[in-house]
A and B are shown apart, each in its own frame.
Chain A
Amino acid sequence: MAEEKAQEEVEEQEEAKHELLEELRSSFGEKILQARLLRPRRLQVRIKGEDLYPVAEFLKGAGFDHLSCISGVDYQEHMEAVYHLWSYSRRELIQINAELPRDNPEIASLVPLYRAADWHEREAYDMLGIVFKGHPNLKRMLLPETFEGHPLRKDFKTQPMSWYLEGEAEMWETPVEVSPPEDGETEVMVLNIGPQHPSTHGVARLVTTLSGETVVKIEPVIGYLHRGVEKIAEMRTYQQFLPLTDRTDYISSITNNLAYVLAVEELLGVRVPERAEYLRVILSELQRIANHLMFIAAFGADLGAWTVMMYGFREREMVLDLMEQVSGQRLLYNFLRIGGLKEDVPPGWEDNLRNFLRVLPERLADYETYFFNNEIFIKRCEGVGVLEPELAIDLGVTGPMLRASGVARDVRRDDPYSIYDRFDFEVVTEEAGDTLARFKVRFREIFESLRIIEQALEDLPEGEVRSPDVPKVIRPPRGEAYSRIEAPKGELAYYVVSDGKSTSPYRLKIRSPAFCNLSAFPHYATGEIIPDMIVNFASVDIVMGEIDR
Chain B
Amino acid sequence: MVNEMLLQVLQGLIAVVAVILFLSLNVLFLTWMERKVIARIHVRYGPNRAGPYGLLQPIADMLKLLTKEDIVPERADRLVYNLAPVVAFLFALMPAAAIGIGSGLIAADIGVGVLYIAAVASLSTLAVLMAAWGSNNKYSLLGGMRTAAQSLSYEIPLVLSMIGIVAIVGSLSTQDIVAAQSQAWFGIIPKWFIFYQPLAFIVFFTAVVAEMGRIPFDLPESESELVAGFHTEYSGMKFAMFMFAEYIHFVVGSALVVTLFLGGWHLPVISPLVAELGWVKYLVQVAIFVAKMYLVIFVLMWVRGTLTRTKVDHVLSYGWKGLLPLALANVVITGVVLSI
Contact = CB atoms under 8 A, between A and B. Distances in A.
Interface string B203-246: 00000000000011011001111110000000000000000000
Given A191-B138, A213-B142, A307-B41, A301 B224 contact: yes
A299 to B, nearest CB: 10
A196 B117 CA distance: 40
Contacts of A376: 216, 307-310, 314
B225 A199 contact: yes
A534 interface: yes
A191 B313 CA distance: 19
Interface stretch (A422-430, A455-463, A524-532): A524-532
Given A376-B216, A379-B311, A529-B313, A307 B306 contact: yes
B38 interface: yes
A305 interface: yes
Nearest to B310: A376
Given A189-B138, A198-B227, A307-B41, A531 B222 contact: yes
Contacts of B142: 191, 213, 530
A303 B224 contact: yes
B273 interface: no
Contacts of B223: 198, 304
B311 A531 contact: yes
Contacts of B42: 306-307, 309-311
B312 interface: yes
Contacts of A534: 224-225
A522 interface: no
A90 interface: no
A532 B308 contact: no
A310 B307 contact: no
Interface in A499-549: 529-532, 534
Contact of B311 (A189, A302, A380): A380
Contacts of A302: 224
B44 interface: yes
A525 B334 CA distance: 47
A377 interface: yes
A304 B313 CA distance: 16
A306 B46 CA distance: 14
How would you classify the secondary structure of chain A's contact residues: helix, strand, loop or mixed?
Answer: helix
A530 B308 contact: no
A305 B43 contact: no
A531 B312 contact: yes
B225 A300 contact: no
A300 B308 contact: yes
Nearest to B223: A198
Interface in A284-313: 300-307, 309-311
Interface in A377-409: 377, 379-380
A304 B43 contact: no
Best-surrounded residue of B305, B306, B310 (most CB of chain A within 10 A): B310
B202 to A, nearest CB: 16
A191 B225 CA distance: 11
Given A213-B142, A307-B42, A199 B308 contact: no
Given A303-B308, A376-B308, A530-B142, A311 B225 contact: no
Given A306-B38, A307-B41, A380 B224 contact: no
Contacts of B307: 305, 374, 376
A187 to B, nearest CB: 13
Contact of A304 (B41, B218, B227, B314): B218
Given A304-B216, A305-B309, A380-B311, 19 more contacts: A189-B138, A191-B139, A198-B223, A198-B227, A213-B142, A304-B218, A304-B223, A304-B308, A305-B307, A306-B305, A307-B306, A309-B42, A310-B42, A310-B44, A379-B311, A380-B310, A529-B313, A530-B225, A531-B312
9 contacts: A197-B227, A305-B307, A305-B308, A307-B41, A314-B43, A377-B308, A379-B311, A380-B311, A530-B142
Interface of A: 189, 191, 197-199, 213, 300-307, 309-311, 314, 374, 376-377, 379-380, 529-532, 534
Listed from nearest, the 5 A-B pairs whose CB atoms lie closest are A304-B309, A310-B42, A303-B308, A305-B308, A199-B224
